[in-house]
Structure 1
Amino acid sequence: MNHPMLDIQHIRKINRSNARDSEIIESFAIDDTLCLTASHLRETAIHYWVHKPTVVLGIPDSRLPYLEDGIEFLNSQGYDVLIRNSGGLAVVLDENVLNISLIFPDAKRYDIHDGYEAMVSFIKRIFENKNQTIEAYEIERSYCPGTYDLSIGGKKFAGISQRRVKTGSAVQIYLDVEGQGDERAQLLKSFYDVALKGEDTKFKYPNIDPNVMASLGQLFSQKLTVQDVMNQVEQKFHNQGIEIEERPFSDQESEWFDNRLELMQQRNRRINK
């Protein structure tokens, strides 16, 4: 799949794409656990996760001057709220947003940008049959803007973050698959309005323009589901001769998971009071 980090023969799969069965705080603990496994076993993994309506805040968002008011607004719109342990700012998740984590071993062998570049290469390969040019550059007025925003025709459909634990690296991407990307953006525009109330802050929060965001379904002008995307991913693995193995956590991994889950819960106690 072009990037050397994707030159693999075997990948482990963790599938948590049923939003009804998944707690989002567990998804981040799973990624940390898989990073620890990668550190010990040098194993590459893919983790699919989908959740009920949730706004995932970045650490800078936790310092918004009127954060509690912002959270109350999101709750009133039917969204749960979580502070994640990887970089970036607020993003919107729901049943039509697919999160994919690629977990790589030997992260210290690579520059941190390699992880991002590997994910960009991966996504371009997944959608290469759509005859659309996917670009990676910052969409400044999107939510959670970053150097590795993925867009088509100037409209962002995905953002990438990365977290390293020991020598494992979890490169995480959210893909707006179905629905209205601009409506998700409007939600976060309103959140920042409420949580800032026009106050000047040292940190520059995004001035969101909903018109610069869209879902893949909108951009491809076709019906596309989360399951369709996962099927395309695994078809690409099959075409590359990559073996996919799905297996539950070992006892050691379960212990790591419990520890990482507690850390996530500690991070989020402030907003869950």
Structure 2
Amino acid sequence: MIHPLLRQPTYRVIDQSTLGMMFQAEQSFATDDTLCASTHELGAVLRAWVHTNTVVLGIQDARLPHLKDGVRHLHAQGFRPVVRNSGGLAVVLDEDVLNLSLILPENDGIQIDSGYEAMTSLIQSMFEDVTSKIVPGEIVGSYCPGSFDLSIDGKKFAGISQRRVRGGVAVQIYLSVRQSGSARAEIIRDFYDLAIQGEPTRFTYPTIVPETMASLEELLGIPLTVQDMLARAYRVLSSVSSLQSSTLTPDEQATLAGQLERMWKRNEGLREIEQQLTEE
């Protein structure tokens, strides 16, 4: 059943899933904040984004006692770390992980759970022809666990987060489309092992069990690509709304510059660590 929040008059569709290696995660988080600020005037947005070999860290991850050792490991695996501006903990992004952002105007107030439920409804509807087993609920042993993890038969393939900025709500999901979900989880498990090294921490970090995670292709047993996923999302939303291909307006581009500056500043400490590693 389609969640009422998905029934927007129109969606601006901004597809940034094929921009390649030069498109960095800092740009994505800055873009969502930009779109939140304009959605009350320009309407809802569906934004698709893909980043190559990136590990997105949460604010708490940036406070790990041996972060430098964890970052060294990520570099050795070919991954670039970025600290995001929304909640949550470390997740893996690569060319087979699709991120979707629903940017919705908060005109009448949107309850936090309603945003999560709307995204869950979208994903369930996208695959209603294949499975009825997609359910929300925390998967213990997964990375970035939360109440709205999405799983099939107890294996997590997606996680949802939210960010609210100036009258707009960004509901963001990462979807492991192809390849090994457990291999991605191993990267985060080893990152935490090296970045904590058994030291006591004020924050409780998850104990990663790689077998609790999988990709949709693994779980459904059908071939899938990022473009297949987008086609399914467009099919669902076009049944309840009008879709219009779009890009950022000149005013949004101006706002984006300021939001990007905030993201660069947020990541200054991480870049200093990376510079130290290059000098070793």
- The alignment's TM-score, normalised by the length of structure 2, stands at 0.94
> Are 2:256 and 1:257 aligned?
yes
- Cα distance in 1, alignment partners of residues 261 and 253 from structure 2: 12
| Greater mean deviation of Cα atoms: 103-112 or 164-173 | 103-112
> Are 2:151 and 1:124 aligned?
no
Q: What's the counterpart of residue 15 of structure 1?
A: 15
SS at match of 2:158: strand
Q: What's the counterpart of residue 87 of structure 1?
A: 87
Give the counterpart letter for 2:133 in structure 1. T
Of all paired residues, the percent bearing the same amino acid is 46
SS at match of 1:271: helix
Residues 50, 95 of structure 2: 8 Å contact kept: yes
Q: What's the counterpart of residue 44 of structure 1?
A: 44
- Cα distance in 2, alignment partners of residues 58 and 149 from structure 1: 16
Q: What's the counterpart of residue 184 of structure 1?
A: 184
Q: What's the counterpart of residue 269 of structure 1?
A: 268
Residues 17, 49 of structure 1: 8 Å contact kept: yes
Q: What's the counterpart of residue 72 of structure 1?
A: 72
Superposed CA offset, 1:108-134 (max 9, x none): 612111111111111111111112411
Give the counterpart letter for 2:31 in structure 1. I
Residues 6, 237 of structure 2: 8 Å contact kept: no
- TM-superposed CA distance for 1:234, in Å, is 1.0
- Cα distance in 2, alignment partners of residues 241 and 114 from structure 1: 17
Give the counterpart letter for 1:260 in structure 2. Q
SS at match of 1:12: strand
Residues 107, 169 of structure 1: 8 Å contact kept: no
SS at match of 1:272: helix
- Cα distance in 1, alignment partners of residues 185 and 206 from structure 2: 11
- TM-superposed CA distance for 1:183, in Å, is 0.2
SS at match of 2:113: helix
Aligned residue pair count? 271
- Cα distance in 2, alignment partners of residues 107 and 206 from structure 1: 36
SS at match of 1:190: helix
Superposed CA offset, 1:119-170 (max 9, x none): 1111111111112411100011100000000000000000000000011000
- TM-superposed CA distance for 1:49, in Å, is 0.2
* Distance verdict in 2 for CA 1:84–1:125, change over 3 Å: same
Q: What's the counterpart of residue 112 of structure 2?
A: 112
- Cα distance in 1, alignment partners of residues 116 and 189 from structure 2: 26
- TM-superposed CA distance for 1:241, in Å, is 4.9
Q: What's the counterpart of residue 224 of structure 2?
A: 224
- The alignment's TM-score, normalised by the length of structure 1, stands at 0.96
Q: What's the counterpart of residue 168 of structure 2?
A: 168
CA RMSD of aligned residues (A): 1.2
- Cα distance in 1, alignment partners of residues 248 and 8 from structure 2: 21
- Cα distance in 2, alignment partners of residues 247 and 139 from structure 1: 36
- TM-superposed CA distance for 1:42, in Å, is 5.5
- Cα distance in 2, alignment partners of residues 107 and 47 from structure 1: 20
Superposed CA offset, 1:60-106 (max 9, x none): 10110001110111011100000001110000000000000000001
- Cα distance in 2, alignment partners of residues 216 and 107 from structure 1: 34
- Cα distance in 1, alignment partners of residues 35 and 184 from structure 2: 30
- Cα distance in 2, alignment partners of residues 131 and 113 from structure 1: 23
Residues 56, 83 of structure 1: 8 Å contact kept: yes
| Unmatched segments (≥5 aa) in structure 2 | 273-280
